[in-house]
Amino acid sequence: MLEAARWQTHHVSQRDLLVLTEEPLNAETRLDRQRGVITPAGRHYVRTHFPIPIGPTVLELDGARRIELSLAEIRAMPPRTVRVTLECAGNGRRFLEPAVPGEQWGLGAVGTAEWTGVPLARLLEEAGLRPNTAEVLFRGADRGIPKDLDREIAFERSLPIADALREDVMVAYAMNGAPVAREHGGPLRLVVAGWYGMASVKWLAAIALLERPFSGFFQADRYVIDGRPLREIAPRAVIASPAEGAVINGREKAATIEVRGYAWSGAGRIAKVEIIAGPAGASAAETWREATLGEQASPYSWREFSLRTLVAFDYGGPEMDVGLMARATDEAGNAQPLGARWNALGYANNAVHPVRIRIRA
Q: Is 302 in the site for a copy of itself (CB under 8 A)?
A: no
* Residue numbers 241-270 binding a copy of itself by CB under 8 A: 258, 260
Q: Is 317 in the site for a copy of itself (CB under 8 A)?
A: no
Q: Is 169 in the site for a copy of itself (CB under 8 A)?
A: no
Q: Is 38 in the site for a copy of itself (CB under 8 A)?
A: yes
Cβ closer to a copy of itself: 37 or 61? Answer: 37
Q: Is 310 in the site for a copy of itself (CB under 8 A)?
A: no
* Residue numbers 113-132 binding a copy of itself by CB under 8 A: 114-116
Q: Is 179 in the site for a copy of itself (CB under 8 A)?
A: yes
Q: Is 75 in the site for a copy of itself (CB under 8 A)?
A: yes
By 3-state DSSP, what share of the chain in percent is helix, strand and coil, each rounded to 5?
15, 40, 45
Q: Is 57 in the site for a copy of itself (CB under 8 A)?
A: no
As a whole number of angstroms, the distance between CA 198 and CA 47 comes to: 9
Residue/partner pairs of 329-332 with CB below 8 Å, 24 or more apart: 329/235, 329/270, 329/271, 329/272, 329/273, 329/274, 330/235, 330/265, 330/267, 330/268, 330/269, 330/270, 330/271, 331/268, 331/269, 331/270, 331/271, 332/265, 332/267, 332/268
- 230-248 residues labelled b (16+ CB within 10 A) or e (exposed): bbbbbbbbbbbbbeeeeee
Q: Is 174 in the site for a copy of itself (CB under 8 A)?
A: yes
Please identify, among the stretches 81-89, 145-153, 217-225, 226-234, the one whose residues bind a copy of itself according to the rule CB under 8 A: 81-89
Q: Is 308 in the site for a copy of itself (CB under 8 A)?
A: yes
As a whole number of angstroms, the distance between CA 245 and CA 358 comes to: 7
Site of interaction with a copy of itself (CB under 8 A): 33-41, 43, 75-76, 78-83, 112, 114-116, 173-179, 258, 260, 292, 294-295, 297, 304, 306, 308
